[in-house]
């Protein structure tokens, strides 16, 4: 079995270089340093994450309380924990906040849990094609697809490298398909520069696998 669209380790290495150029939120770093225990300051972590990533949860304090109560008693781990937290929060907000929960779990519980959003999903599906998991649960499917992608591509990377690649590449290829699409205001000018002058963004070109493009 092969990938529908190839993915090289060199692209992940470029993602690591890209991330090291100041893209990680200093606020999240400080929060993790101040409260390293996953059961500490859960409501504060939820509020900060909601603001920084614009996950638009209006009842964020109630959601934080829900997370606090559930994490204290849950025995679930890995992707199952994400699905469990999504279900618990849905009882409060009537919506399934996969992106928020995946980010919270990745940053504050287990960094090996991949970040799920529409762009990461798009890129994983683009690479895997028919090799995608058939699991009906969204995060369990995504986590299985991430593992399949790493296996088929022979990747030697950590979760942060792959998350960075999937986010940037997903936004780029969606933007290429629809330049009017509302994407990250931080990435948009980089994509514009890449299109106008490919030589001006060598790391981004490497990340996207466009190193040989003119």
What DSSP string describes 154-168? T----HHHHHHHHHH
Give the span between the Cα atoms of 83 and 118, in whole angstroms.
17
C-alpha closest to that of 171 among 184, 186, 185, 189: 184
Q: How does pLDDT run across 145-185, given as a tens digit for each residue?
A: 999 999 999 998 888 889 999 999 999 999 999 988 989 99
With pLDDT > 70 as the criterion, what percentage of the chain qualifies? Answer: 98
Name the token pair of 5. 């669209």
d(CA 136, CA 149): 18
Per residue in 94-115, pLDDT (tens digit) is 999 999 999 999 999 999 999 9
């Amino acid at each position: 079995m092969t990938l529908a669209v190839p993915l090289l380790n060199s692209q992940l290495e470029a993602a690591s270089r890209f991330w090291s150029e100041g893209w990680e939120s200093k606020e999240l770093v400080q929060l993790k340093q101040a409260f390293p225990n996953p059961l500490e300051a859960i409501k504060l972590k939820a509020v900060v994450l909601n603001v920084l990533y614009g996950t638009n949860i209006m009842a964020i304090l109630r959601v934080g309380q829900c997370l606090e109560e559930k994490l204290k008693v849950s025995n679930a781990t890995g992707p199952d924990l994400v699905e469990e937290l999504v279900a618990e929060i849905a009882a409060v907000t009537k919506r399934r906040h996969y992106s928020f929960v995946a980010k919270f779990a990745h940053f504050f519980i287990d960094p090996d849990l991949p970040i799920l959003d529409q762009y990461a999903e798009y890129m994983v599906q683009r690479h895997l094609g028919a090799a995608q998991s058939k699991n009906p649960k969204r995060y369990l499917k995504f986590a299985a697809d991430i593992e399949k992608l790493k296996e088929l591509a022979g990747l030697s990377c950590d979760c942060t490298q792959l998350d960075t690649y999937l986010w940037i590449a997903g936004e780029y290829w969606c933007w290429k398909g629809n330049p009017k699409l509302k994407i990250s205001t931080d990435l948009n000018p980089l994509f514009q520069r890449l299109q106008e002058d490919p030589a001006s963004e060598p790391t981004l070109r490497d990340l996207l696998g466009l190193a040989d493009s003119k």
